[in-house]
Copies of this chain bind each other. A is one copy, B any other.
């Protein structure tokens, strides 16, 4: 869990916010002698570098494209320090919970959830440079921008440095893949797997778009070009030759690699003068003084992994209770054998 929190925390490198939050987590319930007990797990992550005074000016002037104004429109009152719940600090909880979900998915079915940065501003990693079948967490973590290709990583870092020194910001895209996803996850109608993943991803701060499989680009293909033909592989497993479906067909996972792309806008809090209004509707100018990220995508990588893992975990539990209580056709459904306690314990 601490590993993922460190990937999320501010101040981890020069291309993130210089706030120095150590984000050390303390678990105060729900785990006993290395095992979860069924009790809710309480994780406490105190904020060790809070500077309220940075926010004084912002308490009256609304930051453009930030949640300042809409919180007032909704509640008629808001917390100013650190943005309250609009601070990306709220994602600490997501990352902590996601770490548990990732562990269970790995133990249960060898499922791996991996995200990386595939675009920063105008630096776009071309499709195919990263091999989705084989790239590793180590490759992602080998540089501060979290792009598994070293060459593009350098270009991305340069792009962030360029705006950082000017007090400006840039956005980008995070790609996430899931290897060895169990088959049969998701629902046919309202709770399709892609719908759950879209909600989870779009609930992260600063997101502007979501696509999976062929995505928006797939609209330029014809049906005969787009369809993924089936075949039976040497182990008697039904597979598809291509994967424009992105591992999901009819709202349900088919066992191929799930792949997603999520657009993040440039950080709205910037150190440049902008026109805005105050809480009492007077026009004013604002230069934000907080210590904010010039680009959120490197820190968004563990957040995306966490949200995807949490959706899969929920769906696995649902699938387990709905379909594996009474499997009708075990050959097609492939319910996984119950893993041994020893295996689980050994890995703790």
Contacts and interface: CB of A to CB of B under 8 A. Distances in A.
Given A70-B253, A227-B274, A75 B211 contact: no
A228 B251 CA distance: 36
Nearest to A68: B250
Given A70-B254, A281-B238, A263 B211 contact: yes
Contact-size category for A:
35 or more
A236 B277 CA distance: 11
A230 B245 CA distance: 41
Interface string A217-234: 011111111111111100
Q: Identify the 5 closest CB pairs spanning chains A and B, nearest first.
A: A67-B250, A76-B328, A209-B211, A76-B329, A169-B223
Contact of A251 (B62, B67, B197, B322): B67
Contact of A37 (B79, B183, B200, B268): B79
Interface in A165-216: 168-173, 183-186, 188-192, 194-203, 205, 207-216
Interface stretch (A9-17, A18-26, A334-342): A334-342
Interface of A: 32, 35, 37-39, 62, 64-79, 84-86, 90, 104, 107-108, 119, 121-122, 163, 168-173, 183-186, 188-192, 194-203, 205, 207-216, 218-232, 236, 238, 240, 244-246, 248-255, 263-268, 270, 272, 274-277, 279, 281-283, 316-330, 332-335, 338-339, 341, 344
A227 to B, nearest CB: 4
Contacts of A316: 325
A73 B335 CA distance: 9
Contacts of A75: 37-38, 184, 323, 328, 333
Nearest to A222: B168
B188 A223 contact: no
A348 to B, nearest CB: 12
A232 B263 contact: no
B189 A226 contact: no
A191 B316 CA distance: 22
B212 A70 contact: no
A166 to B, nearest CB: 9
Given A38-B74, A195-B200, A195-B202, 8 more contacts: A32-B79, A38-B75, A64-B229, A104-B325, A107-B326, A198-B199, A205-B250, A232-B277
A104 to B, nearest CB: 7
A284 B257 CA distance: 24
A67 B252 contact: yes
A221 B171 contact: yes
A35 B78 CA distance: 10
A232 B275 CA distance: 11
A317 B322 contact: yes
A284 to B, nearest CB: 9
Contacts of A169: 222-224
A265 B219 contact: yes
B223 A215 contact: no
